[in-house]
Every structure is written in C-alpha cells, then in structure tokens.
Amino acid sequence: MMIDKIRGIQPLETLQRPENVVPKNQIPSDSDSISVSAEARELAQEMYLQEVADNTPDVRSDLVAQIKEKIKDPNYINSAVVASVADRIMMSYGL
C-alpha cells in the first residue's frame, strides 16, 4: 500500500497544525461579520419568554402551602378575611 505517499491517513492533519491557525488578535479587520435584524431579536425574545412560561408552573405551591396552614388556624377565618376575599372575587368579575 502507498498510504504514506498521500500525506498520511488523515488529510486534515495539515490544516490542524498550530502554525496554520491564525490567533484571534491577528484576524484582519475586514473579516466576515453578521448582523441580526430587530425582527429576529424580537422573535428570539418571544421564543425565550414562551419557553419560560411553558416551564413555569401554573400554581405556586409555596403560596398554596402557606394559605393551607393559615386556614387550619381557627382564628384566621373571621369576618374581615371573608369580606376581603368576597371583595376580591367581586373585583375579579368586574362587579
């Protein structure tokens, strides 16, 4: 076989040598660049927010646990609490 005459088994080994790599501080200023449109940034933001919303639980279990503990206390439920809850329910329905 004549594998040695074809520059070895891996033809990319010459490209991966350290002397062929240009340091970042020596890259010419006219190098390639990209720009992201405002529309693309907005879409990316929307996708991120949708992902956060999808991963956030609908029920805050820590608050539910606190309220359950408060309800267990017989002194917690009084006329002021009942009136406050009733007012909030009425406000949520726009009444």
Q: What are the pLDDT tens digits along the chain (95 aa)?
A: 555 555 555 555 555 566 656 666 666 666 778 888 999 999 999 999 999 998 888 888 889 999 899 888 888 778 888 899 899 999 999 88
pTM of the entire predicted model = 0.35
Report the alpha-carbon distance of residue 77 to residue 71 in Å, rounded.
Answer: 7
Specify if 65 maps to a domain: yes
Which whole-number Å values give the CA distances from 35 to 30, 41, 49, 64, in the listed order? 15, 10, 22, 46
**Number of structural domains, the chain?**
1
Which whole-number Å values give the CA distances from 69 to 8, 52, 75, 76, 81, in the listed order? 74, 29, 12, 10, 15
Specify if 78 maps to a domain: yes
The residue range of the domain holding 94 is 61-95
Query: What was the pLDDT predicted at 72?
Result: 87
Report the alpha-carbon distance of residue 48 to residue 55 in Å, rounded.
Answer: 11
Query: What was the pLDDT predicted at 23?
Result: 65
Specify if 3 maps to a domain: no
Specify if 87 maps to a domain: yes
Query: What was the pLDDT predicted at 77?
Result: 77
Report the alpha-carbon distance of residue 26 to residue 3 in Å, rounded.
Answer: 36
Specify if 93 maps to a domain: yes
Query: What was the pLDDT predicted at 75?
Result: 82
52-55-57 Cα angle (round to 5): 115
